[in-house]
Amino acid sequence: MPLGLFKEYIMLIFFILLSLSLISFGIIKRSEFNEHQLVSKQLFSPLFTAIIILKNGLVGLTLSILLVLSLSTPLRAEYSPKQPSINLEDVESGQLLMRSGNELSSAILLSTDIKIAVAGSASRTIVSQRFINTSKTWAEGVYVFPIGENAAVDTLKLRIGERFIEGIIKEKLEAKVIYEEAKAEGKKASLIEQQKPNLFTNKIANIGPGEVVVVQIEFQSKLLPKDGSWELRVPLVSAPRFDMPTIEEDIKFGNTGFSNAKINADYNENIDIKVIKEEELFNPVEISIDLNTGFELNSVKSAFHKVDIEKLSNGHHKINLPGPISSDRDFVLRWTAKDKDTQTSLFKETRAGEDHLLLTLNPPLTNKNKYSLEREIIFIQDISGSMSGEPIKQSKVGLEMAIRRLKSNDKFNIVLFNSHYSSYAQTPVLATAKEKDKAIKYVRRLSAEKGTDMYPALSFSLNNFRSNKSVLKQLIFLTDGAVTEESRLFSLINNELKTARLFTIGIGSAPNSFFMSRAAEMGRGSHIHIGDMDEISTRMGELFSKIENPAITDLELKLPKGFNAEVYPNPLPDLYVGDPLSIAIKGGKATGVAVVTGKIGNQKWVAKIPLDQGAEQIGIAKLWAREKISNLERNRISLNPNENQKAHIDSELLQTALNYGLVSRLSSMVAVDITPSRPIGVDFGTTKLKVAIPDGWDPKQFDYKYKEIVPQKLQQISSRNDWYNAANLMQKTEIQSLPQTSLNWKVSILFSLLSLLMGLITLSIWGRKNNV
Amino acid sequence: MYSKLFTALGCCLVVFGLIGIAKASMQPIKAIIGQHYLEVAWKESLKANKLSKPWRSADFYMIGELTVPKLKISRVILNSASGEAMAWGIGRVNNAQTSSKSNPIILAGHRDSHMQFMSKLNIGDKIELMMSDRILKTFIISKTDITKKPELVMAALNSENESLILTTCWPFNSQKPGTERYIVTAEAAF
């Protein structure tokens, strides 16, 4: 029994009866009145008429208002709209495509397994994926995978059918030649290339129909705490990138950065892959994490997924997912140290006779030194259509908060962009109380619509500062969009930023966090990523309060005499409260004491670091190399070097990548099997060799039984054509249209009732005159 | 002079209003009374063990019953999601022909009558379903979605388990017909 419905209905009927009785009562009373007061009728008639009209009108009006209220408010108020768990239309993920000849078809990704080992401030990730060729011919698979932007990819292991191959690092072109030759000869081969610093592709040649491929990729990344909390992020979503309208210099090269024709050609080829989205629902992911922090933990939490946490010892935990998850949103794990004052850390790895150090400076969590610095601040706010709903609502709250926090001697401006840009004021204005109120009203009116074009908005904002040097200049850039024309934006930032600091805020699962964090690094600011829509205004508030007072500025590192080392990043950025800085150092034998100097407000700050006390940790050397590569890439874009210098930077970059075995813009990882696997005119029959897994390979991932991992439906089919059809059929998505499911009977009743009331009023006026 | 005209106009408005109220009132009355009648008819058809119409002139059959234990709500399911059927009960969206085990059961109902309770459903809630095979199955709500278009994209391979999908118009308290749909997916529990 729908009780709520019943109640509402009874209420409506009640109101209808009430109004009818009142109105008829009004009419009867009036006629009685007329009969009894015949004498004064002439005199008072207009007055009485007016009174009666007024009365009936009032009754009608009151009833209508009551009705409207009863329709819109009761019973429903208890319902607060839920956030949909995920919108079906928005699902995106890494994709695998099979290519044979000109024919493209999608492949089924059978499983993804991610193992992460965290040790101190470094993490090693092993991603194992199994997929199956669902096309009817021999094909080449291309898998696009996104990973964290400071990750160093160094290992590739592959099993195709009954063969095992391991990748080695080569110069990009050389690797490509090796791969293409192997492919042409019908050998199994695989090639990992970096398309963008946070986007890699893995190509696998000569996969037989129905053959299973296991790919295992390993990479090293660096972890840094923020506000005393550590975050590990496993990107599972590859967003469709927003392509800018083409501009002159990009015509030839497509839209990716790093103006190298070959890479761009490759990239464009891969862009096509993104059109196919069908296998997004066939991508179950398993994640397990070995968290060995070395210090006692206060809490461990997964932001979006349910996890099982097993405590092995203080500071050592095992984290598992209860079951496979769909790759529709990033996996995020956060933990905090029990002792919040875990301040500075130093890790060391010796490789080829050289010491590699990773020094992490953790500023205090609270700023004890409150210096009121004068600021000029520009907010750049994305108001494109993708921001609509919770993101724009929350960023408005965040912006409002930021404006309220401004001091009266601060200057500010707000720049909005979607397909076009506009600004609150022509140039930054003083944040007087009146101006703040006006700006808040301006912010509250914002709504999100149309596309995204960042360049003009950023360009305008960068040239919008008016104050002299001593003033702290800050740009706050908030967007949820993915960017493709990174290099253009980078050179813009580098050329125009001058002494200003750039802070970037990425929202949702789509933003290009490589661009955002690199831009912030370049702009000597910081980057935050907000995955949970409910957290936007809170996290924005944290950022705003943090950047009011930089903790330590003008940082410099002085190494002991006799220790010549390469240090990255260079120059060192400012330190903010709760925002640590890691410095990667490589040199001969690390001994002596390094001195870090800086300024807290106008006071000098000095820290002494004994270099020989670093804790041994594997992976630090690779992190250093990755840091160096990032730095070189940054220089290549930002210093605007000539061709000679560019070549010099490139050769240094390649040398570093090859020495440390990392995939980079100039180096790829290639794996080739020695014996041909494609039967050329010869049927090998059914002789099967026993599969032996190479030493050191994880049997759990590489040793499988075909029958166990391939879905039944795919196994049962003998003919390749049927097989192909079945695979296609399985992937076919069905679209079911849904019927109209609203009666809207309340509105009908309301309108009918209004008509009734109007009719009765008309009758009561004109009917009376008739009687007279 | 004009009074006759206005009297006529007034009468017309009154008549229109009364008819309108009566017509619009029929919808919740149908929903409330119809559900009782269907309930009785469904029990009888279960006893008789045959697919039957609730009344002779009906152009739909009763094919099952849905119960939400948390809200103490039960609804008889009709085999059609046409406007006429959905005025009386909730309807199964017509995918019964292509139905296999992997196809979900999709049920639709009006947001302002039979499916009003959908606003109170949360992830993890239990839904019991008995179709004409007389086996009581329990489903647990696994997700809720809102789609912009009145379409549901289904992938065949996705659901190994049986699943149940309830759908109604979104937003709940709106009074305009729209294209948005609120979709609740529940997986079979064993």
Q: Report pLDDT for A694.
A: 67
Q: Rounded to an integer, what distance in angstroms lies between the CA atom of residue B172 and that of residue A105? A: 41
A72–chain B Cβ distance below 8 A for any pair: yes
Give the distance from CA A239 to its chain's centroid: 8
Whether residues A16 and B27 touch (CB distance < 8 A) is answered with no
B95 reaches A (C-beta below 8 A):
yes
CB contact under 8 A, A85 and B144: yes
> B173 contacts in A (CB within 8 Å)?
72, 76, 79
Which of A736, A756, A763 is most worth mutating to test chain B (most B CB atoms within 10 A of its CB)?
Answer: A736
Distance between CA atoms of A276 and A257, rounded to whole angstroms?
24
Query: Cβ(A349)–Cβ(A120) under 8 Å?
Result: no
CATH 1.10.510.10 fits A92-335+664-677+693-729, yes or no: no
| Range from A508-522, B26-40, B97-111 that averages highest in pLDDT | B26-40
User: In chain A, what is the greatest distance between 2 CA atoms, to the nearest angstrom?
Assistant: 123
Average pLDDT over residues A658-662: 89
CA distance A747 to chain B (A): 7
Contact criterion met (CB < 8 Å) for B7 and A767: yes
Chain A hits for B9, CB-CB cut-off 8 Å, are 759, 762
Please report residues of B whose CB lies closer than 8 A to that of A744. Answer: 112, 175-177
Q: Quick one: average pLDDT of A616-623? A: 86
- Whole-number pLDDT of residue A638: 61
Distances (CA, A) of B48 to A416, B54, B62, B67: 68, 13, 13, 21
| Interface check B189 vs A, CB under 8 A | no
| A88·B145 Cβ contact <8 A | yes
Residue A270 pLDDT level (bands cut at 50, 70, 90): very low
Query: pLDDT (tens digit, 9 = 90+) per residue, A207-260?
Result: 777 778 888 888 888 887 776 778 887 766 543 332 222 222 222 333 332 323
Place of tokens 């005119």: A681
Task: Compute φ and ψ for A122, nearest 5 degrees.
Answer: -125, 150
A417-426, A645-654, A676-685, B147-156: range with lowest mean pLDDT: A676-685
In single-letter form, the type of residue at position A561 comes to: K
Q: Which residues of A touch B181 (CB under 8 A)?
A: 738, 741
Say if residue A109's pLDDT is above 60: yes
Does the pLDDT of residue A431 top 70, yes or no? yes
Does A767 touch chain B if contact means CB atoms closer than 8 Å? yes
Instruction: Calculate the average pLDDT of chain A.
Output: 71
Question: Hey, what CATH class is B3-189 in?
Answer: mainly beta
Question: Domain spanning A375-547: which CATH class is it, in words?
Answer: alpha beta
Measuring CA to CA, how many Å separate A103 from each of A21, A140, A476, A589, A719?
Answer: 77, 11, 46, 56, 20
DSSP secondary-structure letter at A331? E
pLDDT surpassing 50 at residue A686:
no
Task: Determine what percent of chain A is predicted with pLDDT higher than 70.
Answer: 64
pLDDT over 80 (residue A745) = yes
> pLDDT confidence of A366, banded at 50, 70, 90?
low
pLDDT score for A41: 47
Maximum Cα interatomic distance, chain B, rounded to a whole number of Å: 78
Q: Picking from A13-22, A544-553, A721-730, which range would have the lowest pLDDT averaged per residue?
A: A721-730
Q: What residue of A is the nearest CA neighbor of B110?
A: A741
Q: What is the pLDDT of residue A768?
A: 60
First to last CA, chain B: 78
Which tens digit of pLDDT belongs to each residue from A561-613? 878 888 888 778 777 776 778 888 988 887 888 888 887 766 788 888 888 88
Residues in A touching B29 (Cβ below 8 Å): 9
Q: Which residue has the higher pLDDT, A642 or B102?
A: A642
Cα-based torsion angle of the residue sequence A345, A349, A354, A359 in order, rounded to the nearest 10 degrees: -20
pLDDT in tens, A700-735: 777 777 666 666 555 544 444 444 444 444 444 456
Q: What is the value of pTM for the model shown?
A: 0.53
Q: How far does A147 lie from chain B, in Å, by closest CA?
A: 26
Give the B window 21-80 contacts with A, CB below 8 Å: 21, 23-25, 27-29, 31-32, 35-36, 73
Of A350-359, A390-399, A603-612, A673-682, the least confident: A673-682
Partners of A743 on chain B (C-beta within 8 Å) are: 27, 87, 110, 112-113
Of A86, A749, A755, the CB nearest to B13: A755
Say if A92-335+664-677+693-729 and A375-547 have the same CATH topology: no
Q: Out of A87, A88, A743, name the one closest to residue B112 (CB).
A: A743
What token pair was written down for B152?
Answer: 């549901």
Structure tokens at A252: 């030839």
**Do A13 and B181 lie within an 8 Å CB cutoff?**
no
Question: Distance between CA atoms of A21 and A23, rounded to whole angstroms?
Answer: 5
**Which amino acid type is present at position A731?**
Q
Nearest to A122 by CA among A654, A630, A616: A616
Residue of A nearest to B1 (CA): A770
**ipTM for the complex shown:** 0.82
Closest CA to A504 of A558, A543, A467, A469: A543
Domain boundaries of chain A, sorted by first residue: 3-80+744-771, 92-335+664-677+693-729, 375-547
- Among candidates B153, B168, B178 on the partner chain, residue whose Cβ is nearest the Cβ of A733: B153
- Partner residue facing B177 (CB), from A742, A751, A761: A742
Compute the distance between CA of residue A89 and CA of residue B147 in angstroms, rounded to an integer: 8
Give residue A46's pLDDT: 59
Chain B residues with CB under 8 Å of A749 CB are 20-21, 24-25
Q: Answer whether residue A86 shows pLDDT above 50.
A: no
Q: What is the mean pLDDT of chain B?
A: 81
How many helices (DSSP H) and strands (DSSP E) are in chain A? 17, 36
Decide if pLDDT at A91 tops 60: no
B153 with A730: Cβ contact below 8 A: no
Q: How confident is the model at residue A271 (pLDDT cuts 50, 70, 90)?
A: very low
